[in-house]
Structure 1
Amino acid sequence: MSRVPAVVPDRSTNPFHISGDVDFFLLRDQERNKAHLEREQKKTMHVHEKVTYSSKVSAKHRSLRRELQLEDEAEERKVCAETEQLRAFRDNTIWKLAITKEKRMESDNINSYVDQKRQMFLIQYALEMKRNEIQRLEMLAAKEEAKLELAEKSLEKDAALFDEFLRENDRSSVQALRAAEKETKAKIEKIFEFRDLTTQIMNIKSEISKFEDTLQHYKIYKDFLYKLSPKEWFDEQEKKRLALKKAKEVANTPKESSVPSTSGDKVPLLRRSSSGILLEEDPDSDSEELELYFTEPQQLLDVFTKLEEQNLSLIQNTQEMEETLEELSFTLKNTQNRMDREVNQLKQWITTMMMSIAKEEETAAELELKARVFYFGEYQGAQQDKLLESLNCKVLDVYRHCIGTQQDTNLGTVQMLTIIEHQLDELLESLERVPPAKIDQAEKAKEKERRMRLREEKAMLQKQLQEERLQRARARAHAEIKKKKGRKLVCRSRPPVLRTKEESEHMFMDKEKEEQLFFFT
């Protein structure tokens, strides 16, 4: 901090002035820095090293008092020393000479003397003021100490009262805790009692439900026993009940005649038993239940054995009926499948027969037309007979190959054809039962044989053609050579070859031959 220059007072106006060496602002700054350092030191101090405000104030008063006492003692010592020196100088002759010399001095020495006296007065005045201030401060310190003592006493009283309050509070808290513990214990006991009662109630309810279930079961058993009891027993019980009722009516008639009835006539009520029998009940009398027919368990066992025998017979009958029903359903399914298959086969045969009939009719019409065209007006019976005989021989040959017997050789051509057709149908039916793998294998074998046969026939034809070609070449070689004379003739273009029906018939015959070779060899 920058130092503030000292204020120099005007001595002409005020005889009392402050020395220029003393800087009050510097002292203030020093005090402030000192207080700041003390605060920083207190921050780092421990708790046991710190002091309270009251102890701090008392320590300040004591230190101030001690400093003032030390200053007073030092000043008294100085004054005593000065007085002793003055006495010594007065006694000394040298002092006298000095005094006399001073009288002879000039006015400057007088001024300096006055100044010294003035300074002495000021010092004495300052001492008096300091003493008064010290006394005032001592009085203030005494008052503050008295106040502190009163405050300490009041604090002690407050502490005692606070301790008493704490004791009372502890007593009340202990009593409250005891009361709370008692209440909690009572509450827990009540909760346990409530739980025990609830468990007892639940047990009783469960027992009641069990008893109700058993009662329902017993009622069901009772109804079942009533149903098993015979009707004769019900009739006897009805007769007994009616007899008892009549006896009661006879016994109650004199009483009813003596006492007039205030209410109207009471109509007897009817109830139907579980077995279907109507029973009368009086509205006043309690409903009396019938006694059980079964008094011993052997009776029930006998009834159960009878019912069991009946059930066994019924079960056997039902099983037999189920077996027969299954057999019938199986046979029905088989017959239905067979009939469906036969119907489909018949439908296919009908379609094939219709197609073959249509083809045969077409061929018959064509043949008839051809016969009319080519053989109109001519009748060649011998050729037709030969044709019929050849057809009969072929059919007979096929019949022998298909049937494989020499019997019934006197049959006609049509009859043999019908037998062959029936045999073909049977073979087709048996062919459907044969597994397809075997059929494929047989077809492959037949196809292989047919190809081998065709290959052999083709080889034979080629061989015949080769031989014919060789013969023609030999004939050409042995023939005479004819030289052509004249101009060479130009050949005309050949006309297109007309395809006649004979070729188609020839092709048709070739197909028939192939089919005969495939199916009948």
Structure 2
Amino acid sequence: MNRNCAASMSVWTGACWRRRDCLALRPCHEFTVTSSISSQSLCTEISGVQVLACINSSVPCVMHELVQPHPQEEDNPFKLPPDDQIFAIREKERQRRAEEREKVKQQHVWEKVTSASRISRTRRVDDGIDDTQVAAEAARKARSDPRTEGLPIGRDARREKENIADFVAKKREMFLVQMSLDVKKAEILKLDARAKDKEEALNKSKQMLDKDVERFDTFLSTNDSKAHAAMKNADETAKQKQERVGRIKSLKSQLSAIQSEIAKHREQKDECLRFKDFLVNLTPGEWKEQKREEKKQRKHERRRIAVDARMEDIEERMQAEIEAEEQAFKEKEEKEKKGRRRQKKTEEDEQKEREAEARRKRIARKYPTRDQVDMEYVEYSSGEEMPLYFQEPKQLLDIFTSLEESNLFLIQNSQDTEQALEELDQKFAAMRKTREAMSNKMKLQIGQLERQITDEKSKCDELKQRPSCTMTVRAISQKHGGSEIEDLLEKLGEGVQEVHSICTHENQDDGDTLQMLARIESKLEEYLAYLDEAEESGLGARVLAEEHKKERQRRLDLRMSRKLHQEKKIEDRLKASLHRSQAPVHKKVGKQIMFRSAPLFQARAMPRASGHPLYMARRVVQEDDGYEEAVREHNIFGIWLDKEGVPNAQQPDP
């Protein structure tokens, strides 16, 4: 039964601990309920079901005060009142009880009622009274009546008869009411805890918002102060900048003035230096040599003085060290005299002299000799410039007079020399001209002979290599002659050189025509490759347009060259006719030269006396339009000339 009583009390205490858990393990200081289960309790057991109502006499009846709302907190009926209000409610309950007791004392006898009637009397629960208050009041009255000890709560003292079912139903109803009461209390505590949590969260949010507002105000004030400070700093900086700009302008003006002054002084200095150089050049060489010797002597004197001073210092240190060694040696000798026998005086003196000499040599080896000091000496210039020879204006005038006299003599001598030199130059020029003309003539002859030899050798080699062309070359040489072929080759070489210079942009004269043609061919292949790349890259229309343009230009140039050639031919013809008209008339004397007549019969075989046939030939004259000659030239040279003299590399058409 005690276990059941403890279980019934855990409903109230569990709510308190649940509230503490909801408040993050904070102790529940809003209210405190002290309960002590005494041995005297009321227990009712009906048909195996125990309905427990444990009310201790020492537990104050404050259950209904805990749930009554405070007058000031009627807005939130589920809020638990604080501790001070709970104790105030207890105090009010005590005063009410005392007042009831005083009132009962003052009542008349007929107004008073017995305790049994007071217990059995059923009270109607008002709207403003909670089930907790009813239970607490019943428990209080049960505790105040000693006769009800050990009896169940609400039992009639008169023990009216009633059946077991009603009794169990009533007890069941009481248990359900008590259980609903406990559930409501627990829910009230939960709602109250949630309300407190929400209020605390709202308070925290409000505090955080207030802090944020405060920080924002602080930030605004700080920002304003920084803005004012920045504006002030900007004003000060602008002011300082203006001051510095003004200072810079003034310094620049001062600098320009100083630079102009420096330039002026530099010009004066340059002018003075030019005058000084002029005077130095006019200075006699003997005086310059004398001053150089004096400067050299001063250098030697400075060297000697420096070396002597260094040697004196070295000798002083050497002497001081020698004296210190002598003193140390004497002290050591005095100490050693006490422990040894005296030798002869001469031997001791000689030994002392030897030891002293050895010490001097050892100390002298530590210090440099005079030669070493002389080699270590670094020569330096005193910085003194050579003084000017001219101290008075009269000296300069005397120099000018002497120079003028010597110059006049030199001018006269130079004029005589120039006259003799001109005569010699004229004789030498005439002689040189004649010699050069002779040498040039001989060189030309030698060159012509060498070229002819080379040409003949090359022709022979070519003819040897190409025996099939022997007749063709012979026919060409018979028709045009050697000089005309050379002229043709020379013209071809000039044309190839011109094309080579245009293609390669080189004006150097290369004697090998075949190499020039090879370079032209490679250049043409390169240009054709560029054109193919341009066509592949989408510039075919432009390339075609440029080709048409170049073709028109070539035709125009060809037309102009033909026109100029025709004009030149006409001009030459006019000049020739003018020359013939102006030339004197020569009468032909003698018989006219006649060509050989053609044979009168065709070639046929005629028998001879020997038995062999005799072939006779007849000359046949045919007109030739130059086709065969062009074919031969094309086969030999790879190029041929048409009737107008224009070279063509294609196969000639019949």
TM-score by length of 2: 0.22
Please identify which structure carries the higher helix content: 1
TM-score by length of 1: 0.26
The structure, 1 or 2, with the larger RCO (C-alpha pairs under 8 Å, 6+ apart) is: 2
